[in-house]
Amino acid sequence: MRQGRFGGMKREDRAKQFMPFAALKGYEAALREKERFTEPRIVLGEDGAEMLDRQLRCVWEGDDVRVRHYWKHRYVEVSGRVTKKLVQQRKLVLDGGIEIKFDDIADIEVL
């Protein structure tokens, strides 16, 4: 058998040598995650925190509300019925099991 210029290696095997590989597993996914849109968290001033506190005091279990809150690096708005108001845990639970921490709320409105 003639070895030729590839030293007896089949063309397919030679091509495999040059295939790209990921030296760090998950690196590409991490880069994609970093590139996605993120919003900085709003820091409420004293007046804003006081207003939000007043709004939360007006929310009761059974109320329909619209809440703008920080979730997965961005602000989202959800509407639903309050099923639990967990004051000591500082959380609202809406129908469907949606849990929202008081500290993540930017605005809340009773509908």
Model pLDDT for residues 11-27, shown as the tens digit of each residue: 777 666 665 655 566 77
Are residues 77 and 30 part of one domain?
Answer: no
| pLDDT for 98 | 93
Alpha-helical runs (H) found in the chain: 11-17, 27-35, 46-57
Give the domain extent around 19.
4-35
| 51 and 31 housed in the same domain | no
**50-108 pLDDT per residue, tens:** 999 999 999 999 999 999 999 988 899 999 999 999 999 999 999 999 999 999 999 99
In a domain, 41, yes or no: no
Residue 104 falls inside a structural domain = yes
Q: Are 90 and 103 in contact (CB under 8 A)?
A: yes
Q: Is the pLDDT of residue 35 over 50?
A: yes
Residue 105 amino acid letter: I
Instruction: Tell me: do 58 and 91 sit in the same domain.
Output: yes
pLDDT computed for residue 93 by the predictor:
96
Residue 1: which pLDDT band, with cuts at 50, 70 and 90?
A: very low
Domain CATH for 74: 2.30.30.520
Q: Domain check: are 16 and 64 in the same one?
A: no
Domain count within the chain? 2
pTM over 0.75: no
Q: Per the domain annotation, does 58 fall within a domain? A: yes
Cross-strand bridge partners of residue 84: 93
27 and 56: one domain? Answer: no
- In degrees to the nearest 10, what's the CA dihedral of 76, 82, 86, 90? 20
One-letter amino acid of 18: F
Question: Which pair of structure tokens corresponds to residue 57?
Answer: 């005091």
Q: How far is the C-alpha of 24 from the C-alpha of 19, rounded, in Å?
A: 15
Task: Please tell me whether residues 16 and 63 are part of one structural domain.
Answer: no
Give the helix, strand, coil percentages of the chain, each rounded to 5.
30, 30, 40
Would 67 be classed as within a structural domain? yes
Can you tell me the distance from the alpha carbon of 81 to that of 94, in angstroms, rounded to the nearest whole number? 5
